[in-house]
Amino acid sequence: MGLKDWHSELREKAVKALDKPSPYGLDIDISQYLEAEEVGNRSKGLLDVSKAEEVGVNLNANALYIQVDQSYFKYLSRIPGVEVYRIEDFIEQKPDEAMEFAWRLIDPSTDKFTALAYLRGRGGYFIRVKKGSKVDEPIMACLYMSYKGLQAPHNIVVVEDGAEATVYTGCTIAPEVLGLHVGISEFFVGRKAKLRFVMVHSWNKVAHVRPRTVVSVDEEGEYVSYYVNISKVKTLQTYPKVYLSSNSRAFLASIILGLEDSDIDVGSAAYIEGDGASAELVSRAIARDESKIVMRAQITGGRMGKGHIDCRGLMMSNNSLIQTVPELIAKHPDVILTHEASIGRLAEDEINYLISKGFSRDEAISALVRGFATIDISGLPEKVRNYIETIEKIVSEKAL
């Protein structure tokens, strides 16, 4: 199939799905984002460096992708074995390769948001880590919204056989900007390869956010994900899916902070499709004010393997809501699946114990929230671990 026919087929699928809501989360009207051919491209905004720093992006990194709205792009790679492109440039320069990866894991007809991203989206990164390359320095990306409208990047990461890398993405927005962010992400982890993916979100009280992520992990590969929302947001809904081949592993961790009247529906799913694969889904939700958080997690075991779900919620307000929805689906007699879920408030005796040791009440609460939000992720490079520790500190401070 040629590139033109490929686009035509995808467009036809997308058009048919423009009225198809997501099965999860609060539905929103997307008609305003279809009114112009290139919504959001009127923006002449530039990146707010302070906002990039807030989400932990190092703008001096040797491999970097920056996108502002749908109109400003910058990308580079000075790391041997690492390619970074804007997605349109990659498709134009390497159309045959692009058709092997783009829209392969995510169908544009999945829901109205994937359809909108195909029809009106621009930008997003293509990152390839070549076979056998071991990259210690994080590959950085920053997606920033400075103008009202749509931002819908399409991100693809390919970590070839035996390679190893960390991709760190920070997504953020200017204050009071009314926008819809739909991030399409397709990740391919090769045989005996390892991808660590860190995503930090900092939105505003009028933003709608709908990331869509699917990951394919080949034999003996490993995918480690760390997602955190550190700010208020109007609505947020995402449900990344990971498909695991034989003896592969996935670890997905998320820390969700609900502030003001945020409506958040976040989940993840893992599918054990090869013998010996394993998956662990860990989530922490902190609900304040009148926020609503739904935490979903599902592991489907179709072959011999192991899976575990750990969902915990911390109530910081009498008017907030947390709901956990752990699901285990066994389709093979030799799969072992377990889960634990809990919701509660900080224990008064733990607070009083720290006060007796010389902490003020606020310091005691902050320390306990920090402990709750800390997720032990083994095998992270020191630079990445430092970023995560900083983000966890921010979460605990904003939760008070």
- The residue among 204, 205, 199 whose CA lies nearest residue 255 is 199
CA distance 344 to 359: 22
Higher pLDDT, 393 or 160: 160
Residue 352 has pLDDT above 60, yes or no: yes
What is the number of other CB atoms lying within 10 angstroms of the CB of residue 4?
Answer: 9
pLDDT band at 390 (very low <50, low <70, confident <90, very high): confident
pLDDT in tens, 231-275: 999 999 999 999 999 999 999 999 999 999 999 999 999 999 999
What is the model's pLDDT at position 17? Answer: 97
Query: What's the rounded mean pLDDT across residues 353-369?
Result: 91
Tell whether 316 and 386 lie within a shared domain: no
State percent of the chain over pLDDT 70: 97
In which domain, by residue range, is 382 found? Answer: 347-400
Tell whether 322 and 333 lie within a shared domain: yes
Contacts of 25 (CB under 8 A, 6+ apart): 210, 235, 236, 237, 263, 265, 294
Tell whether 11 and 60 lie within a shared domain: yes
- The residue among 330, 209, 308 whose CA lies nearest residue 262 is 209
Residue 385 has pLDDT above 90, yes or no: no
Tell whether 276 and 261 lie within a shared domain: yes
DSSP per-residue letters across 85-154: EEHHHHHHH-HHHHHHHTTTSS-TTSSHHHHHHHHH----EEEEE-TT-B--SPEEEEEEE-SSEEE--E
Higher pLDDT, 39 or 50: 50
Residue 400 has pLDDT above 80, yes or no: no
Q: In total, how many domains does the chain have?
A: 2
Residue 39 has pLDDT above 50, yes or no: no
Query: What's the rounded mean pLDDT across residues 139-151?
Result: 95
Residue 224 has pLDDT above 50, yes or no: yes
What is the model's pLDDT at position 43? Answer: 56
177 in Cβ contact with 147 (< 8 Å):
yes
pLDDT in tens, 276-287: 999 999 999 999
What is the model's pLDDT at position 44? Answer: 57
116 in Cβ contact with 32 (< 8 Å):
no
pLDDT band at 37 (very low <50, low <70, confident <90, very high): very low
Tell whether 265 and 124 lie within a shared domain: yes
3-state class (DSSP) for residue 303: coil
3-state class (DSSP) for residue 31: helix
Helices of type H across the chain = 3-16, 49-54, 87-93, 95-101, 112-120, 348-356, 361-373, 382-398
Tell whether 352 and 259 lie within a shared domain: no
What is the model's pLDDT at position 342? Answer: 95
pLDDT band at 387 (very low <50, low <70, confident <90, very high): confident
320 in Cβ contact with 285 (< 8 Å):
no
- The residue among 105, 143, 106 whose CA lies nearest residue 122 is 143
pLDDT in tens, 6-20: 999 999 999 999 999
pLDDT in tens, 330-350: 999 999 999 999 999 999 999
Residue 376 has pLDDT above 90, yes or no: no
Beta bridge partners of 170: 142, 200
Q: Mark which of 311, 331, 346 sits at the end of a domain.
A: 346
What is the model's pLDDT at position 320? Answer: 97
Tell whether 380 and 278 lie within a shared domain: no
pLDDT in tens, 284-298: 999 999 999 999 999
pLDDT in tens, 75-133: 999 999 999 999 999 999 999 999 999 999 999 999 999 999 999 999 999 999 999 99
Tell whether 354 and 320 lie within a shared domain: no
160 in Cβ contact with 128 (< 8 Å):
yes
Tell whether 382 and 237 lie within a shared domain: no
Tell whether 24 and 79 lie within a shared domain: yes
Tell whether 172 and 206 lie within a shared domain: yes
- The residue among 137, 82, 66, 63 whose CA lies nearest residue 384 is 137
Tell whether 46 and 165 lie within a shared domain: yes
Residue 42 has pLDDT above 70, yes or no: no
Q: Mark which of 346, 374, 389 sits at the end of a domain.
A: 346
